[in-house]
Amino acid sequence: MNQPVASYVLTASCPSRSGTVDVVTRFLRESGGYINELNSFDDELNQRFFIRTVFRLEADSEFDRDVFCQQFSERSKAFEMEWELTPLDYKPKVVIMVSKYDHCLNDLLYRYRTGNLSVEICAVISNHTDLQSLTEWHDIPFYHCPITPSTKAQQESQVQSILDQYQCELLVLARYMQVLSHEMCEVWAGKAINIHHSLLPGFKGAKPYHQAYNKGVKLVGATAHYVSDDLDEGPIITQGMETVNHTYYPEDLTRKGKDIEAQTLARAVQYHAEKRIFLFNDKTIVFERS
Amino acid sequence: MNQPVASYVLTASCPSRSGTVDVVTRFLRESGGYINELNSFDDELNQRFFIRTVFRLEADSEFDRDVFCQQFSERSKAFEMEWELTPLDYKPKVVIMVSKYDHCLNDLLYRYRTGNLSVEICAVISNHTDLQSLTEWHDIPFYHCPITPSTKAQQESQVQSILDQYQCELLVLARYMQVLSHEMCEVWAGKAINIHHSLLPGFKGAKPYHQAYNKGVKLVGATAHYVSDDLDEGPIITQGMETVNHTYYPEDLTRKGKDIEAQTLARAVQYHAEKRIFLFNDKTIVFERS
Amino acid sequence: MNQPVASYVLTASCPSRSGTVDVVTRFLRESGGYINELNSFDDELNQRFFIRTVFRLEADSEFDRDVFCQQFSERSKAFEMEWELTPLDYKPKVVIMVSKYDHCLNDLLYRYRTGNLSVEICAVISNHTDLQSLTEWHDIPFYHCPITPSTKAQQESQVQSILDQYQCELLVLARYMQVLSHEMCEVWAGKAINIHHSLLPGFKGAKPYHQAYNKGVKLVGATAHYVSDDLDEGPIITQGMETVNHTYYPEDLTRKGKDIEAQTLARAVQYHAEKRIFLFNDKTIVFERS
Amino acid sequence: MNQPVASYVLTASCPSRSGTVDVVTRFLRESGGYINELNSFDDELNQRFFIRTVFRLEADSEFDRDVFCQQFSERSKAFEMEWELTPLDYKPKVVIMVSKYDHCLNDLLYRYRTGNLSVEICAVISNHTDLQSLTEWHDIPFYHCPITPSTKAQQESQVQSILDQYQCELLVLARYMQVLSHEMCEVWAGKAINIHHSLLPGFKGAKPYHQAYNKGVKLVGATAHYVSDDLDEGPIITQGMETVNHTYYPEDLTRKGKDIEAQTLARAVQYHAEKRIFLFNDKTIVFERS
């Protein structure tokens, strides 16, 4: 029998239907769950329902996680609910992939070290060795998995076995400058987060910040999204944006852009860890915190 | 029998207890309510529960508002719930009180005229006549209720009868430069919103923006709050704040401060109209929209 | 002889060269100008110098505007300076063009009426009559200039004669849903401001907010820019951006987008009126105020 | 003779007078200085002039720093100018004082390590040993200077000799929970930065975030200021503020407050390092960067 845990997050989504909230709240009531926080949203256009609730167990509740799950499965089956029960203090196992840029990795490791990121960083994988010492300085295993066009399949298989070894639950591409294969994208759909710059207007091709400088943009930003086949166009999780002015040369824009990338990626990882994100079709629903 | 209305907002609060969410959601389920959006929060420190839900009626529901209210009263009695049912498109009747400053009144009337404030502005009352023409330009009745220390009780009674005449539900003090009497504060507790500047550090006495200039503040702001006996210190609803720099002379700070006052007051009125605010003890819980 | 005016704005730009600041400040010194504020920037990559200064005349100065201009022309000639001298309280003559959307016009007229826009709005021109009453309510002349593909040249000539009649100095396209001709763009280069939505990623084609909804964007914004042949891609003046979440249906995104459009356009017009903007190549340098 | 350095920052302030800008720009011109950026402001109410300019030396300039300083002293004497010439890449020597809270120290060290703080951190001094290992992990000397009411003078003398030893130019109180003596404040006036929380309304006494929670504040923030005798009330350098809502319990408010404290303090230190701050009377003029 599972040891009862103080608090849980229950998330669920399903096609819109009468009674969706009720099936969750009634079951929690009957199971001795005391609801601390509940947010639900029924998307009328997409006809999809989403709910996230944080509950603790009543003092006298005889909670058995397996029983809970089995019974909730039965209850929610008619609603075709996809759901998840997670201890509130659970930290998902994360593997980070990087290339040579260190700003996102640096920031993630810093938040992790100072207790401000609710994940367990298990390993860092890179196709280069530049970030090995930074990683190891934080007592985290570093794996060098070089890649060439001809060894891509082989490298991804090597990466996958590292992910398997750590039972990785969330893959974070912290400026990993390689495109994942279609297969890899499929396996990690909804479980891999990427970050890229966001500029208005959008700039194609190389040196986006130089283009932005030439265009005199007044805002620079970043978008964190789930990885999809459509490079840099997966479902958006969160976006950051800050004002700049004419005193920002391309290298200044780049530096500010990197700052925003790091913050935005960290926020996305934290939202994922807190089970605040629902993925549906090509978009996300995020019960963010003000 | 009441004509069924498409959508409602149900808000409720009560002491923290097991089953608070369930009593609401189960009842809505049984009454043919389809929940579009639900937010609940159980404040563990204050031991108080809050819930706001937007629901529409199922197509086949035989909804009778009176019956609904009577039955929900019975159901929720054991929880000592304070609750309210409001049609989603209901616009509360508002009376605005002003003195001579026009920035807040101007802004409220503008939003009202352009359909961006979900209230019905019934009348404007002032102890001066400066804002009469602005008010009447918007086809809203204006009442001049002058006040002196010796006529305060009499003036407030005059004001109250105007409020009664319009069945005023929300009193908005849009830079009304008089202190309401203790009695008036009590009658309108939780139903009267005031706005005042907010500066860091706080400045006592006259000409706060001049003091702020002398202190070189880098932020100016405003706080909207429910009126209480404690002048300028009632329960906070929402606060606005913007950066300023050395190029802001006192009159520039004042102008920016007024802008923020107007925006912040309008936001508070809108939150109130949308039933997003719960008042408990000396504080508010606001289910704001991002 | 010109009547001396209290304060002036002098703006200038030229190719980067030694002594650019000095030629301006020395001349002001010799002309009895007392500098209140000065900002200069030398863009090393574009090799272009920009300066904006606000000065008032010394009490005993024998300032003659014509003489000042003639002498400064001579002094600055060697630097190939493009410059402008404007009384600080000068309000440029503005004509606004609109189609059917009223949010930007409404906002500009409101700011104008309340003394928060340093321009003189001379007329509103539209290819429709929907906004006639709003315009006339503000005592501003309204011109209906309908347009069809076959009458475009003729309509633009009609528009141009209205602009001439009012000696228009700034043309504001406040959601004017017609593309200006190449000739019109050339004539009004640097003197016509347009506004359009800004979404990340950029969406092509119709109903951008519906596309944004389907993509689950977390930010919506707007860009104000000088009109150029390259539709919606002229030199950026200022950009606004705000967060949104899943509770924003397409119509909510649209409403928020319109709010940002109105604010962003008004800010651009104000910056232009205050002579804060320099146009160079395809970009702007803006000495904005915090 | 000094080795010429590529770029310098020249800052100056003096009583308002005709010709203040000119005396600076003319001298730079004559000295072979090429102005990259110049900002000046003449505060009419305080009758004080401020200027900051970044310049590089012309290729053929025979720049001698000592000669420059001697000559500029002579030129500016009549204006009673207080001025400073600093190489653009100069990193002022900083000593940080802390007690037990690590959030500000942690953040400063992180920015320092990643090259995002333009100072040289020479040492950390604390009245406790809690933060010794963190400091030493960054290869920075740590000094334990315990303090009791009876040993205060002695401890401050010990601290002062450490500051002397490192030729400390900027003292940063990164949550140092001791009040500096009047003498210490005088010695370090304008050269010591402190950080404290900022809440609206202001809360006196212990546990400010608990008070803020009870009051339901919707904004939390922090103020960085120069140290003065008036505890927590010295001249403001920069302020940060973020929105919070009801889901923030006192410990959440505290965590968010700490984040803002760390960011705000770092920004103040960076502005100081970049010579962007002028101190005059009880206020600062900051030529901040957007």
D5 falls in which pLDDT band (50, 70, 90)?
Answer: low
Q: What is the DSSP letter of D181?
A: P
Q: Nearest CA to C2 among C51, C57, C66?
A: C66
How many CB atoms are closer than 10 A to CB D24? 28
Distance between CA atoms of residues B94 and A246, nearest Å? 46
Distance between CA atoms of residues B60 and D191, nearest Å? 74
| Residue B12, token pair as written in the block | 């409720």
Distance between CA atoms of residues A201 and C208, nearest Å? 14
Distance between CA atoms of residues D51 and A249, nearest Å? 23
Please state the rounded mean pLDDT for residues B118-147. Answer: 97
Taking only the tens place, the pLDDT of each residue in B38-48 is 999 999 999 99
End-to-end CA distance of chain B: 38
Residue type, B226: Y
Distance between CA atoms of residues A289 and A270, nearest Å? 11
Is C79:C20 a contact under the CB 8 Å cutoff?
yes
Using CB atoms, pick whichever of D37, D114, D290 lies closest to residue A243. Answer: D290
**Is A88 an 8 Å CB contact of chain B?**
no
Are B218 and D237 within 8 A, CB to CB? yes
User: C138: helix, coil or strand?
Assistant: coil
User: How large a percentage of chain A has pLDDT more than 90?
Assistant: 88
Q: What is the DSSP letter of C166?
A: T
Taking only the tens place, the pLDDT of each residue in D228-237 is 987 668 999 9
Site of tokens 């009543």: A58
C1 falls in which pLDDT band (50, 70, 90)?
Answer: very low
How many CB atoms are closer than 10 A to CB B46? 18
- 3-state SS record for chain B: CCCCCCEEEEEEEEECCCCHHHHHHHHHHHCCEEEEEEEEEEECCCCEEEEEEEEEECCCCCCCHHHHHHHHHHHHHCCCCEEEEEECCCCCEEEEEECCCCHHHHHHHHHHHCCCCCCEEEEEEECCCCCHHHHHHCCCCEEECCCCHHHHHHHHHHHHHHHHHCCCCEEEECCCCCCCCHHHHHHCCCCEEEEEEEECCCCCCCCHHHHHHHHCCCEEEEEEEECCCCCCCCCEEEEEEEECCCCCCHHHHHHHHHHHHHHHHHHHHHHHHCCCEEEECCEEEECCCC
Q: What are phi and psi of C150, to 5 degrees?
A: -80, -20
C75 falls in which pLDDT band (50, 70, 90)?
Answer: very high
Taking only the tens place, the pLDDT of each residue in A16-57 is 999 999 999 999 999 999 999 999 999 999 999 999 999 999
Q: What is the DSSP letter of D114?
A: T
| Residue B229, token pair as written in the block | 């006996």
Q: What is the DSSP letter of D247?
A: T
Query: Measured between beta carbons, which residues in chain D are less than 8 angstroms from residue C285?
Result: none
User: A281: helix, coil or strand?
Assistant: coil
D219 class by beta-carbon count within 10 Å (0-12 exposed, 13-18 middle, 19+ buried)? buried
- Between chain A and chain C, the number of residue pairs with CB atoms below 8 A apart is 97
Range from D71-80, D192-201, D279-288 carrying the lowest mean pLDDT: D192-201
Are C26 and D21 within 8 A, CB to CB? no
Distance between CA atoms of residues D219 and D217, nearest Å? 6
Are A201 and C245 within 8 A, CB to CB? no
Cα–Cα distance list, D96 to A135, D111, D264, D274 (Å): 27, 14, 15, 18
Query: Is the pLDDT assigned to residue D193 strictly greater than 50?
Result: yes
pLDDT at position C201, please?
Answer: 75
Taking only the tens place, the pLDDT of each residue in D21-36 is 999 999 999 999 999 9
Is A86:A9 a contact under the CB 8 Å cutoff?
yes
| Residue C246, token pair as written in the block | 């899943």
**Hey, which bits of A108-201 come out as E strands?**
120-126, 142-144, 170-173, 192-199
Catalytic residue, candidates B43, B229, B232, B252: B232
- 3-state SS record for C75-122: HHHCCCCEEEEEECCCCCEEEEEECCCCHHHHHHHHHHHCCCCCCEEE
Query: Is the pLDDT assigned to residue C65 strictly greater than 70?
Result: yes
Distance between CA atoms of residues A197 and A205, nearest Å? 12
Is B240:B221 a contact under the CB 8 Å cutoff?
yes
Query: Is the pLDDT assigned to residue B276 strictly greater than 90?
Result: yes
**Is A214 an 8 Å CB contact of chain C?**
yes
- Subunits adjacent to chain A (3 or more Cβ pairs under 8 Å): B, C, D
Using CB atoms, pick whichever of C198, C200, C237 lies closest to residue A223. Answer: C200
pLDDT at position C5, please?
Answer: 54
Distance between CA atoms of residues D97 and D172, nearest Å? 6
Cα–Cα distance list, D109 to D88, D118, D138 (Å): 22, 12, 7
Length in residues, chain B = 290
Q: What are phi and psi of D49, to 5 degrees?
A: -110, 140
**Is B69 an 8 Å CB contact of chain C?**
no
Distance between CA atoms of residues B68 and A251, nearest Å? 64
Are A18 and B40 within 8 A, CB to CB? no
How many CB atoms are closer than 10 A to CB D29? 21
Q: What are phi and psi of A168, to 5 degrees?
A: -55, 135
Query: Measured between beta carbons, which residues in chain B are less than 8 angstroms from residue C289?
Result: 245, 247
- Between chain C and chain D, the number of residue pairs with CB atoms below 8 A apart is 61
User: How large a percentage of chain A has pLDDT more than 70?
Assistant: 98
- Scored b (16 or more CB within 10 A) or e, D164-203 reads eeeebbbbbbbbbebebeeebbeebebbbbbbbbbbbbeb
Catalytic residue, candidates A43, A229, A232, A252: A232
Asked whether the bond before B201 is cis by omega within 30 degrees of 0, the reply is yes
- Subunits adjacent to chain C (3 or more Cβ pairs under 8 Å): A, B, D
A5 falls in which pLDDT band (50, 70, 90)?
Answer: low
Taking only the tens place, the pLDDT of each residue in A103-132 is 999 999 999 998 999 999 999 999 999 999
Is C286:C274 a contact under the CB 8 Å cutoff?
no
Using CB atoms, pick whichever of C21, C37, C58 lies closest to residue D25. Answer: C21
**Is B290 an 8 Å CB contact of chain A?**
yes
Question: D10 CA to chain B: closest CA distance, Å?
Answer: 19
How many CB atoms are closer than 10 A to CB A46? 18
**Is A245 an 8 Å CB contact of chain B?**
no
Cα–Cα distance list, D63 to D6, D35, D37, D77 (Å): 10, 15, 19, 21
Taking only the tens place, the pLDDT of each residue in D128-139 is 999 999 999 899
Question: D91 CA to chain B: closest CA distance, Å?
Answer: 25
Are D290 and A247 within 8 A, CB to CB? yes
C163 class by beta-carbon count within 10 Å (0-12 exposed, 13-18 middle, 19+ buried)? buried
Asked whether the bond before D201 is cis by omega within 30 degrees of 0, the reply is yes
**Is D42 an 8 Å CB contact of chain C?**
yes
Are C41 and A221 within 8 A, CB to CB? no
Taking only the tens place, the pLDDT of each residue in C124-149 is 999 999 999 999 989 999 999 999 99
Site of tokens 């939150």: B271
| Domains in chain A: ranges and CATH | 7-87 (3.30.70.260), 93-286 (3.40.50.170)
User: C124: helix, coil or strand?
Assistant: strand
Distance between CA atoms of residues C207 and C260, nearest Å? 17
User: D127: helix, coil or strand?
Assistant: coil
Catalytic residue, candidates D232, D252, D259, D282: D232
Query: Is the pLDDT assigned to residue D64 strictly greater than 60?
Result: yes
Taking only the tens place, the pLDDT of each residue in B189-205 is 999 999 999 887 777 77
Residue type, B247: T
Q: What is the DSSP letter of D1?
A: -
The set of residues, in sequence order, having a beta carbon less than 8 Å from that of C252 and lying 6+ positions away, is: C244
Give the torsion sign (CA, A98, A104, A106, A112).
negative
User: C271: helix, coil or strand?
Assistant: helix
- Scored b (16 or more CB within 10 A) or e, A266-278 reads bbbbbbbbbbbbb
Query: Is the pLDDT assigned to residue A204 strictly greater than 90?
Result: no
Query: Is the pLDDT assigned to residue B232 strictly greater than 80?
Result: no
pLDDT at position B5, please?
Answer: 54
Distance between CA atoms of residues B30 and C226, nearest Å? 58
Residue C89 annotated as catalytic: no
**Is C21 an 8 Å CB contact of chain D?**
yes
Taking only the tens place, the pLDDT of each residue in C160-219 is 999 999 999 999 999 999 999 999 999 999 999 999 998 877 777 788 999 999 999 999
Of all residues in chain D, the one with the smallest CA distance to B238 is D218
- Subunits adjacent to chain B (3 or more Cβ pairs under 8 Å): A, C, D
**Is D61 an 8 Å CB contact of chain C?**
no
The set of residues, in sequence order, having a beta carbon less than 8 Å from that of A46 and lying 6+ positions away, is: A280, A281
Residue type, B19: G
